[in-house]
Structure formats: C-alpha cells, structure tokens
A and B are shown apart, each in its own frame.
Chain A
Amino acid sequence: MIRLFAARPAALVGLASLFAAARLDAGPRVPAVASYTIEAHVSAEHGITGKETVRFTNRTHFSFDDLRLHLYLNAWKNDRSTWLTEQARGAGRRDRGMRAKDASRWGWSEIHRVSLEDGTDLTSALKYVSPDDGNPDDRTLVSVALPRPVAPGETLVFRVDWEGKFPRAIARTGWKDDYLLGAQWFPKLGVATDSGWNAHQFHAATEFFADFGDYDVTLTLPKAVKGRVGATGVLKDEADFPGDLVRVHFAAEDVHDFAFTACPRFEVVRDTFSSPGLPNVDIVLLLQPDHRPVRDRYLKAVKAGLADYGKRYLPYPYPVVTVVDPPWGSHTDGMEYPTLFVGGARELAPAAAHSPESVTVHEFGHQVFYGMLASNEFEEAHLDEGFNTYATLRTLKSAFGDPSLVVRFFGLPVVFPSVVLPYPEAANERYHRWAQSSRSDATDVPSFRQLDGGAVRVNAYNRTSLLLASAERTFGAETWAKVMKTYATRWAFKHPTSADFVAVVREVAGDAPANAVAGIWSTAGPVDYAVTSASTRRSRGPNGYTGEGEARTLATPKDEAGGWESLAVVQRLGEATWPVEVEFRFEGGARLRRPWTSDSRWIRYRITGPKLVAVEIDPDHQCLLDANPLNNGRLTGEAPAASRRWEARLRFWAQNALEFFALLGVAGLS
C-alpha cells in the first residue's frame, strides 16, 4: 500500500504497524501482477516446508503459455550450479568455500506439486531451464507448461507445494548459529513483459527482478524466536503454536519480494521517524546485544536516509521499516529487501569510520531504487546500485561529513583523523583501478553477461555513482536534483530502464547532458584528459628579414616588453568524453577558461598576454570519472616544495622502517 504524505500521530504508528489488522493508509495502489499467500514452517534444522498460492495477473500484451519460477536456494545445491561456477571464476562476493562433506553449507529448494486453482496438476509439466548459459546442472529456474496460455488481462491462480533447506549463510541468505535470514526462499515468478518472461538463472554477481504484488505470509518457527521475528511488511499477528512453535503472520502490499529474519538474541528497538512534509515511519531495529553501543547511530542513519531520500527522490510510503543488525560472521550484512534491510556493525566502531552509518543509509536507500523503482538487476544493475551509491554518498556527506581513515591493527581500530576520505571519490576508488587495468565491459552490457564480478561491481556501483556525481557537478546541482526527482517520481513502481533515465535527462537538462550520460554507459573506455605540455616565454620580435624591397632589413630577435607567448597542448587520452573546461592561470592572478565539449583528441592553445603560470583541465574537479587526475594540470615553472616535503617525511619513516626490523630482532642488532 502506498501512503503518500499521510502523516499520523507517532503513538498510533507503533500500534498500527505492530498489529495492523486495519487497512494501511490511503494512497494510489500499484496494480498487482504477482501476489502470494504463503504458509510455511521453518524447522530448527533450517529446513523449510511451504505451500503458496500465487495470483498472477497478466498486464502485458503477451500470452504466456508457461510459468517461470525462480528456485534461488538451488544456487547452493551443488558446485555445478551457475552461481557457484561463476563464483569460482571470481564473480560475486568471496564467501567461504563450500566444504564437500559439510551438509550445512548446502541449500536446496524442490517443488513437490504445482496445480491450478481448479486442482489441475501441472507437476509433470515442470522442467528446469537455463536460458542464460545452457547449464544443464543449474536448478534455479523452472518452467511449468500451462494447459492453455494466460491471455493479456487474464488472471491465473496456482498453488505450489515445496520444500527446501537454508544453507549456512552465503550471499546474504541462510543461517549462522541461532540467526536466520530467510531470503529468496520461496518459488517466485519471473517478470511478465510484453516480450514474454524476463526470468534469469541465479547469477553470482547480480541480484533480482520481480513484479509487484501483495504478500500475505504465515510462518511457524521455533518458539525461541518469539517476539524476535522481523519481515517484509507489518506484523499482523503472533501467537504460540503447538509443537513448541510460534506462528507469525505478516502482510505487505505493493512490494516485489518477501524476506524474514529471526534470532533469539535480537534486541528489539522501536523508534519513529517524523519530518515535516514526509510521512511518519516506524523504525524497528533488530539489534545484536554486542552492538548496543551503535544503536543510536543505526537509528540516526535510518532517519537521515528517510529524510534525505524522501526529499530528493521519493517519500518512503510504507508504514514501517525493519533494520536487521546481523551477527558477526553471518555473511548477510548489507542487503535489501522490501521494507526490511540488513545493515552491519563492528563491536569497536569509531565514529570516523561511518560504519554502520554508510551501510545503513545505503541499504535503506535501496528502498527507493530497488524497492520502488525496481529496475531489472539481472540486466541493468547500475540503475539500482549505481544510483543508490550516488545517493548514499550524498546523504552521508550532508549528514555526517567525510570519514577519516581507520585502519584495523589485529582487530583493533586506529583512526587517522588527518587522512580524510572524501565522498564520493574515496568510496569509488575501485572504478579507477578497473579503468586503469581492465575496462572489460561497457555499463550497458547486461550485467549478468559481464566478464567478472569486478566488471559488474564497477559498472553497477562505482562508474554510475561517479557518473551521476559528475553530472551533478557539471550540469548544476539544481538541474540535476530536478532530473533525479523527475525520474524517481515518474518511474516509481514501473521498472524503468537506462533509456528511460536518459530520456528524463534529455527532457529536464537537455541534449548535451543526456548524450554525456549515454556516452559513458555505452563505452568500457575511461575518461582521461591530460595537459601534455605547457610553456611560456617572453614575446619576441621576428628573427630574419622583415619588410620588402628597400625596406627589407635583417632583424635580430628582441624581447618585447611586457608580453609573453605561451603554448599549451591538452589531450584526450581516454576513449570516453565528458564536457570539461580548460583553465589558464596567469601571473598576477588572472584566469581564463575555455570549454572543451567536442570529441577532438587534442587541442593546442597559443596564448599571448601575461605570463602563463598553469594550465588545468577541469579545475573545479567536476568530472570524477577521470581515470588519472594527476595528469590534469601542468605548471610552466617548477614547484618542488610538495615533493621535497613528502620526500623528507617518507625518508624519516623509511629510516624507522629499516630500523624496525632490528627492533623485532630480525636485523639482529640486539
């Protein structure tokens, strides 16, 4: 249920969100495509047995003659799965290796029966499909042939009985000790489009894509977690259940996934966000007891996200947001699901490190780009991760400033307050390393088809984040804020694509910004502008003969008083282009700027006038995509102070480093 700008008294919010038997607040409904009613039992051994009724409404122009269901837990059924094969090749997160003899490491999901509302059994029509890589051993996607196609506008109700097992947590799904994060745990429909199903196998480096709908989920779990279960949506009911179990009932409307978590150690912290012009939101923080010191920092970060994202992009329309603080070593930190996200904290967490603030704001931010805009993360991961990284760093900078360098020495954090890690550059350093060495794929290559995890991460997170930050600096903060706001409000709940965003840029900011954005996404090459030479000398008269006839005289060159001649060459060393300015700085402080918006490879400037002191491309540091900012400028003279300063500092530390070996006894002086 979307509740736009519907402020409510804070005290009522708590009651409503905890036991919200009543209808959620008013607002425009998103037409449901795939709605689920699920009843499932989660055993103490992390097994899951469930029945789901799925109501699929075909809102496309395509007739579907089969169903496509994701069985994501089969990514960890065995090492032949596409997910684990890709991870072994370096895609995705580096989680622990799967130990062959340790059954707890593996997970699986199996459909026992599929039937239509009238009881027609479709189980025999079920077959595993691998449209992305043809892997016959992958079991993460099934097709169920239908007796007759689902025509446009038609609704099909079907039922699935299934069983599964959660693995020891991997890739933000599963359990550790007494903690469980139930994600991607039920058979889930692909996305219905005008060209058929958009349903991919589970890939190691990419995430998910689903249609919106309503979820009504009832779970029975071991009683030990009573009062400590969090999930997508609102808790409608919680009660004891025979067999030493607890039964919880959650409902969520206008979402595209459902996740839950349970841990007897959770400390439940409740708070309410309220801000003028934005709807009130209940915050439920499920905190690990050893992370109590960061409780308020979690809450402050969620509120910063709710306020900033609400004003800049979209107000958070759901009545509650649940923040999960995962335990140490769970491998579930930093993940988003509708109305619920997983943060991550360390026991010793200096404020200067901005952790858990950064992960909290980021994962909350997904509620906008993943939760409400809901782009296809299999194919265009940058529309969620990149946009959200840009937005996260912006929010963090305005709410908390820049972080400082924090290095952990044997688990103990040491803060270096003078070494500032500026947002957004420092957080996106990975892009520059990639631009220096790999450049394997353009951003518009479907994410799951890119070379490796590095390419996906850089394109999805860093490149797009820096692209948007560069656009904001280059085309103006106000214009860019309008672009982002227009995009978010226009495309909320509509699964936008990159082309949709570029169209918004073109409409709001003009052709040049739209072409710049599209240009960066369409090439793997870096942006790299360089000043390759800069020189200046006094203007001189001609050398040789001047004049004609009797007036011809042999002139010897003489310096002309007051005048200087300068030459500068700027080059575009990278394949990509970005509109930049070239600044010429002269003795006495005069400055001159010239735009460089063409795609020419180089420009030679010849300047007469005052003495040229420096030439610098992008002097305001607007283009954060430049792969090598160190070649962006050149002085006509020498300024060795900085290198001398650092040489002296480093030499002293080198002396001590060499001496340190003796201190350890390696050198053997003592």
Chain B
Amino acid sequence: MRRDSVLVLATRGLASALGTWKAILLFLVLNALLAAAFLHPLASALHETLDKNPWAERLAAGDTDLHTFFTSFARTRPDVLGDLEKWDEAVTGERGERGPSGKATPLSGFFGTTGLSGSAVAYAALAAVLAALFSGGFAGRFGAERDRTSLAAFGADAARFAVPSLLFGALSLAGILAAYRWVYAAAGTLYEPDELRYEWEATGLVLLRLGAFLLVAGILRLVVTYARAAMGQGATNPFAALMSGFGFVLARPARTLAIEIFFGVLGILPLLVWAFLGPVWNGGDFADFALILAGQQLVVILRILTRAGHLGAASAYLKRSREPVSPAAAPPLRVAPEPSAARPTETPVAVTAP
C-alpha cells in the first residue's frame, strides 16, 4: 500500500488525533458545557412546564403524545424556542411562504430572533471560535510530532497560532456563508420550481445546487485544513500557509477530497448508529442515565476525533509530499569559521609577561 494512500493517511491521522486525547477530552468538556448553557432556557422551561403536570406521566410513558405536547409547548412558550422557520427552511431546503414578489434575502431571518433560535447563531459562533483556537493546538502538535499528550504544549500551540487560527476560521465561515448565499440560494432565484414540468426536475435542481454548495464548502474546508497543517509545520506567515494549503489542494484535488469524504462519513456514522439504535433514558433510573450519558459522550468524542483526525491526516500528507510549507529563503550567512579538520583541535597559546 502506498504511503500516501487515503487509508494510510487516514489511519495516521486518527493515530495522531488519539495521541492528543487529553485535548480532545477537554474539547468534549467545553462542547458539553456550551451545549448545556445553550439548552438551559429550554431545559428550565421544560421542568417548569412538566414537573407538576400530568403531561409528564404521558411523556415518560412514551412518544405517543409527543407531537401534541411539543406543538403546544412551542406555541405557548414562544419565548423559549423563538421562530424556527428560517432554520427549518435552511435544514430542509424547502422554501417557506414568500411575499408577492416571491423573493426573500437568503440569509435574512437568522439574526435578531429571540429564544433558542436566536441564541443558536451566537452559540454557533462561540463554538466556531473555540474550535478555531483548538485547531491551532492540534495543528501545532501534529506538526511537532512529539508531546502530543501534553496539554501545556497543546495550550502553547493554541496560543501561538490563535490569531491565524481565528483568521482561518473567519475565512472559512465567510466563505461558506458566501457559498450558501451565492451558490445555493442565489441559484435558486434563477428559476421558479413551479414552472418546471416535472417534480423530479425541481428536486434534481435543488440537489444540484446543494451538491455545488457542498463541493465549494468542502474545497474551502480543505484549503483551510491544509493551511492549518502547514501552519503547524512551521509556516509562520498565515497568508503563506493559506496559499500553501491552496496550492497543495489544487495539486491533489481527488485525494484530498477523498480524505475529506472519508472523515465526513466516519464522523456521521456514530451519530446515525445512536439515532437509530441508541437507548433513551426513562428519566428515573440514574444507573441507566450514567451508561447512556457515557454512550452519548462516546458518540460526540468519536465525531471530534474524526475531525481532529482529518487535520492529522492532512499534516501527515503534507509531510509525505515533502513540499516546503513556507517560501524558500536565501541561504543563511555563516559567520563562524568552519573547522579545518574533522575534529576541532586546540592550539596552545603561550602568554608571557612583558
């Protein structure tokens, strides 16, 4: 098997990520805390609504009344969930009702709403900042190939690469939003789905737009990923690292994309397995709760691991390609005389008093 085959690189990436297990655990803890804070208003409202309510007995028994409960809850507590319409539209790709003009700004509606839907934007941004800072640490440790378990070294790298990491994160965010705006959403305004003769034409076009958006987003992610890897291997100038990543991906589009798809699929698998097979806590038995919580955190950690693994694989790929990660520099000016022999000798100097 080739040393730079997808499987070998993926394995090396995952092994590298496993080496940074302390940092991954730390990221998991922060992710869990962030999720708890994000969900706190909803959790409080649920307790407030349910804990002294006969509905609690029905919901604890099963999901039969779930729809009635949650629609009633969303309706009677609009302050908690806020307006989920725009999120629903973004996730499903189904256009909501439009005004007579038939058009609406694709990114409008995400900001400024109240409740969970409004705070989701802020929490997503916070998660992005956190992840960007961590990526500096991961890139540094993968580049150094030593002290991977050391949180101190990880922290030092995260701090050292904080500014370029945040810059890359911002570029990635802006690029993907722009891709959504101009590749997916704007393309949707070029035609009227109802004017097409068959539904499959409309579905095909939506999927085509989605595919184009995901491809552009995937390439953006790739460039940023390899830029981070380059940064971890010593490219101190973030712009140089970015261009290095860009050039690297441009030269190897198929393999870099294959690696990304591999890790993307690997990352979603645990979630799918849990969604279909994972047990649900009954809310009463705390021994069960501990087990289920552990299972849930295992799923999340596997997902974090795969994404860190992707950076590890990118780092390994860069090293194997033996390409310089920073611009070539002029040879250094040597100021020390070279020894005349293989082994330096001492020359005794006799000093005499005048």
**Which A positions have Cβ atoms within 8 angstroms of B?**
87-88, 94, 96-97, 176-177, 290, 327-331, 346-348, 405, 407-412, 418-422, 425-426, 429, 432-433, 436, 614, 616, 628-652, 654-659, 661-670
Which residue of the partner chain, among A643, A650, A669, contacts B51 with CB atoms under 8 Å?
Answer: A643
In the complex, what's the smallest C-beta–C-beta distance from A653 to chain B, in angstroms? 9
Complex contact A658–B51 (CB within 8 A): no
Query: Interface residues of A: mostly helix, strand, loop or mixed?
Result: mixed
Could you say which residues of chain B place their CB within 8 Å of the CB of A652?
Answer: 274, 296, 299-300
Assuming A96-B192, A614-B54, A658-B124, what are 7 further A-B pairs, CB within 8 angstroms?
Answer: A97-B100, A411-B94, A422-B68, A640-B56, A656-B303, A664-B176, A670-B263
A177 to B198, CA, bound (A): 11
Contact of A651 with B39 at beta-carbon distance under 8 Å, contacts A639-B51, A670-B135 already known: yes
Confirm or deny: B76 has a beta carbon within 8 angstroms of a beta carbon on chain A: yes
**Which of A87, A328, A407 is close to B199, meaning CB atoms less than 8 Å apart?**
A328
**B176 contacts A666, C-beta separation under 8 Å:** yes
How far, in angstroms, from A260 to B338 measured CA to CA in the complex? 102
Minimum Cβ distance to chain A for residue B241 (Å): 14
Chain B residues near A644 (CB, 8 Å)? 281, 283-284
Residue contact A670 to B308, C-beta cutoff 8 Å? yes
Residue of B whose beta carbon sits closest to that of A291: B199
Q: How close is B154's CB to chain A, nearest CB, in angstroms?
A: 14
**Which residues of the partner chain B approach A665 to less than 8 Å between Cβ atoms?**
172, 176, 217-218, 220-221, 224
| Given A328-B194, A426-B68, A645:B282 Cβ within 8 A | yes
Question: Which A residues are CB-close (under 8 A) to B135?
Answer: 668-670
Contact among A290, A642, A659 for B55, CB-based, below 8 A: A642
Contact in complex: B43, A667 (CB < 8 Å): no
Closest to B42 in A: A650
Q: Mark B307-335, 1 if CB is under 8 A from A, else 0.
A: 11011001000000000000000000000
- Are B221 and A670 in contact (CB-based, < 8 A)? yes
Please tell me if the beta carbons of A639 and B60 are within 8 angstroms of each other in the complex: yes
Nearest A residue to B209 by beta-carbon distance? A410
With A647-B43, A649-B280 already in contact, the answer to whether A667 and B75 are too (CB < 8 A) is no
B55 touching A633 by the CB < 8 A rule? yes
Sorted nearest first, the 7 A-B pairs with minimum C-beta distance are: A668-B169, A329-B194, A641-B283, A645-B283, A411-B203, A665-B221, A669-B131
Interface string of B48-77 (1 = CB under 8 A from A): 011111111111100110111101110110
Chain B residues proximal to chain A, CB less than 8 Å: 31-32, 34-36, 38-39, 42-43, 46-47, 49-60, 63-64, 66-69, 71-73, 75-76, 91-94, 97-102, 120, 123-124, 127-128, 130-132, 134-135, 138, 165, 168-170, 172-173, 176-177, 192-200, 202-203, 206-207, 210, 217-218, 220-221, 224-225, 228, 263-264, 267-268, 271, 274, 280-284, 289, 292-293, 296, 299-300, 303-304, 307-308, 310-311, 314
Chain B hits for A664, CB < 8 A: 176, 217, 221
Query: Do A329 and B196 have beta carbons less than 8 Å apart?
Result: yes
- The residues of A that contact B131 with a CB separation of less than 8 Å are 661-662, 667-669
> How distant is the Cα of A616 from the Cα of B203 in the complex, in angstroms?
47
B49 to chain A: closest CB distance in Å? 6
A646 touches B75 (CB 8 A): no
Could you tell me if A630 and B76 are in contact, using CB atoms closer than 8 angstroms? Answer: yes
Determine the residue in chain A with the shortest Cβ distance to B304.
A659
A662 to B311, CA, bound (A): 12
Contact with B102, one of A97, A640, A643, A657 (Cβ below 8 angstroms): A97
A616 cross-chain contacts in B, Cβ below 8 A:
54
Chain B hits for A669, CB < 8 A = 131-132, 134-135, 138, 304, 307-308, 311
Chain B's closest residue to A668 (CB) is B169
Q: Of A96, A420, A631, A655, which contacts B64 at CB under 8 A?
A: A420
Q: Are A411 and B207 in contact (CB under 8 A)?
A: yes
A-side contacts of B281, CB under 8 Å: 644-645, 648-649
Bound Cα distance from A186 to B101, whole angstroms: 30
**A253-B231 Cα distance, complex, nearest whole Å:** 83
Establish whether residues A645 and B63, one from each chain, have CB atoms under 8 Å apart when the complex forms.
Answer: no
Give the docked Cα–Cα distance between A444 and B125 (Å).
50
The answer on a CB contact under 8 Å between A668 and B49 is no
* Contact present for B67 and A421 (CB under 8 Å): yes
Selected from A177, A629, A641, the residue in CB contact (under 8 A) with B56 is A641
Q: How far is the CB of A402 from chain B (nearest CB, A)?
A: 10
When C-beta atoms are compared, the residue in chain B nearest to A644 turns out to be B283
Whether the Cβ atoms of A432 and B53 lie closer than 8 Å is no
10 residue pairs of the A-B complex, CB under 8 angstroms, read A96-B102, A97-B102, A327-B197, A347-B200, A409-B91, A639-B51, A643-B47, A646-B283, A654-B39, A659-B31
Q: Is the CB of A411 within 8 A of B68?
A: no
A614-B67 Cα distance, complex, nearest whole Å: 23
Contact of B49 with A630 in the complex, beta carbons under 8 Å: yes
A433 contacts B92, C-beta separation under 8 Å: no
B31 proximity list for chain A (CB < 8 A): 655, 658-659
**B68 touching A629 by the CB < 8 A rule?**
yes
Q: What residues of chain B lie closer than 8 Å to A631, measured between beta carbons?
A: 76
Report how far A616 CA is from B57 CA in the complex, Å: 13
CB nearest to A265 among chain B residues: B197
Q: Which residues of B contact A646 (CB under 8 A)?
A: 46, 50, 59, 283
